[in-house]
Amino acid sequence: MVALNHADFLALWETGHRLHPLDRGLLAIQASLNPDSQESPVADWPLGRRNRALAELRTLYFGPRLEGWTVCAECGEKLEFELDCRALAETPEASADQRISVEGSIFRLPTSRDLARIATESDPSQAAMLLLECCAVYPKDTSASVEGKKETAHTTIWSWPPERIDKVAEQMVQADPLAEISLGFDCPLCLHTSEETLDLADFLWAEIEFRARRLLAEVHALASAYGWAESAILALSDVRRANYLQMVQA
């Protein structure tokens, strides 16, 4: 991961501004990859690998300590949380080739491209089934055929009992533990316990947005005072820019 300079950072924000939230995270990772790297498209990475890269980016641009809050679903109390992105970035990553086998059916790990495919499905259980269908390698893949069965992924998965579906889900979590970042909350007021998923891409983008707007405000202040070009102001080091701003605002 390579940190972007201020001009490229603003360009990233400008491009991502128009995109679906899912694509913004991918764009941020892609923009910060070493240009010489021979990586596969980020959309095809297992979700845990994507989240790991987002945690690295978060550390690179904003430091490792991530603080946020949610609201207790029972009593409305504000519940704060804190997370060290370095710990997330150290989680072992799953390989894109990794396969899961449950009772003769074979699945690959979900990717961002799969999430994009199911993004319009509003029913969570339907979305989960569609995701499994996207990830089914066998029976789609004849090279992995078991006992000569010729059923399609569709007819098999949708008729599966819930326990078998749960087994696939459990194995996917084991194979790619960072694919979903769950946070546990214990409400100190009503003692309600809950679990929420942290969307790192959303979180990071909100911070990118905030920093981009601050940079624009700083460019505006310095350009108005000195008549300098945007590119010249963005090329200043943080220390110089902060000092000029102090003098302008004094």
* Residue from the set 8, 44, 77, 196 that interacts with Zn ion by CB under 5 A: 77
C-beta of residue 65 within 8 angstroms of C-beta of residue 177: no
* Residue from the set 14, 39, 74, 166 that interacts with Zn ion by CB under 5 A: 74
Q: Which is nearer to Zn ion, 14 or 74 (CB)?
A: 74
Q: Does 190 bind Zn ion (CB under 5 A)?
A: yes
Q: Does 4 bind Zn ion (CB under 5 A)?
A: no
Q: Does 189 bind Zn ion (CB under 5 A)?
A: yes
| Distant-in-sequence, close-in-space partners of 189: CB < 8 Å, separation ≥ 6 | 72, 75, 77
Part of the chain binding Zn ion (CB under 5 A), chosen from 46-54, 84-92, 135-143, 191-199: 191-199
Cα distance between residue 83 and residue 14, in whole Å = 28
* Residue from the set 187, 204, 215, 236 that interacts with Zn ion by CB under 5 A: 187
Smallest gap from Cβ 69 to Zn ion, in A, equals 13
SS3 content of the chain, % helix, strand, coil (to 5): 55, 15, 30
Q: Does 72 bind Zn ion (CB under 5 A)?
A: yes
DSSP 106: E
Part of the chain binding Zn ion (CB under 5 A), chosen from 84-92, 169-177, 186-194, 230-238: 186-194
DSSP 140: T
C-beta of residue 209 within 8 angstroms of C-beta of residue 9: no
- Torsion angles phi and psi, residue 107, rounded to 5: -130, 150
User: Residue 54: what residue type?
Assistant: L
Smallest gap from Cβ 193 to Zn ion, in A, equals 9
Q: Does 186 bind Zn ion (CB under 5 A)?
A: no
Q: How many residues make contact with Zn ion (CB under 5 A)? A: 8
Q: Partners of 99 in the beta sheet?
A: 108
Would you say how long the chain is, in residues? 250
Segment 125 to 164, residues that bind Zn ion, using CB under 5 A: none
Q: Which is nearer to Zn ion, 191 or 216 (CB)?
A: 191
Nearest to residue 206, comparing CAs of 96, 56, 76, 54? 54
Which pair of tokens denotes residue 158? Answer: 């949708």
Cα distance between residue 102 and residue 175, in whole Å = 13
Smallest gap from Cβ 70 to Zn ion, in A, equals 11
Smallest gap from Cβ 78 to Zn ion, in A, equals 10
Smallest gap from Cβ 154 to Zn ion, in A, equals 42
* Residue from the set 99, 140, 192, 211 that interacts with Zn ion by CB under 5 A: 192
Which pair of tokens denotes residue 156? Answer: 């098999």
Q: Which residues bind Zn ion (CB under 5 A)?
A: 72, 74-75, 77, 187, 189-190, 192
